[in-house]
Amino acid sequence: MPSTNQAAIMNGDAVIVNKCAFPVFYVSVGNTSGLVHTIPPGGMYREKFQLRYLRNNHLGFKKYSGISIKLSPNQSISTAVSKKSTFDESTVTQFEYTYDPSRAPGLWYDISNVNGYIFNDVLGWNGILPWPFEEDGLILESTSSNCPSVICPGGNPSGNSTCTQAFTHPKDNWATHGCGNNETLVLTLLEGELGVASF
């Protein structure tokens, strides 16, 4: 059996493709919150699936947690005095994954809009205000058919301003999928035709 370090070398990638007509801003958050970066129109970002070790549990086994790549189309971020503060105040869609070499299949992933809505302080989310990429939609798919896709069509076809395949509430665990950590996942913003590009 390969060591944890050897297994990580064989990991696949998290890839984000921006087919929007505008820049998309992102922060990759693990043990620390990273800097705000930009994916220009037609651009791409990729990172190898990262291992985020937390601690050993009460039985002495290693416990792992996830990475969140937070994405925002808020164009005011680019001219803000503090890009990080403006980003943190923006609604985001999150591409989340957890690489855990101690459990098969090794990788768990989802799309989350839990922080993608503007909430009414009294009533909570009212089902009217959109999530960040609702207008054009997105698709998360893999280079392997073993990894389930997540499809969020643009234009609010469900009629309730949510992506029915993504997290809307924190306990929507049905929206989490498993996959081999050696596969690659591609999130495309503003998908024209379905199908995985070649990476």
63-83: pLDDT as tens digits: 778 999 999 999 999 999 999
Q: What is the structure's pLDDT at 135? A: 86
160-180: pLDDT as tens digits: 567 889 998 888 999 999 999
Q: What is the DSSP string of the chain?
A: ---HHHHHHT--EEEEEE-SSS-EEEEEESSSB---EEE-TT-EEEEEPPPEEEEE-TTS-EEEE-EEEEEE--GGGGG-SSHHHHHHTS--EEEEEEE-TTSTTEEEEEEE-TTSSPPBTTTB--S-SPPTTTTTEEEEEESSTTS--EEEETT-TTSSSS-TTSBSSTT-GGG-EEEETTS-EEEEES-SS-SPPP-
Place of tokens 């591409």: 95
Give the domain 4-157+164-189 fold: Thaumatin (2.60.110)
Highest-pLDDT range among 24-38, 49-63, 129-143, 172-186: 172-186
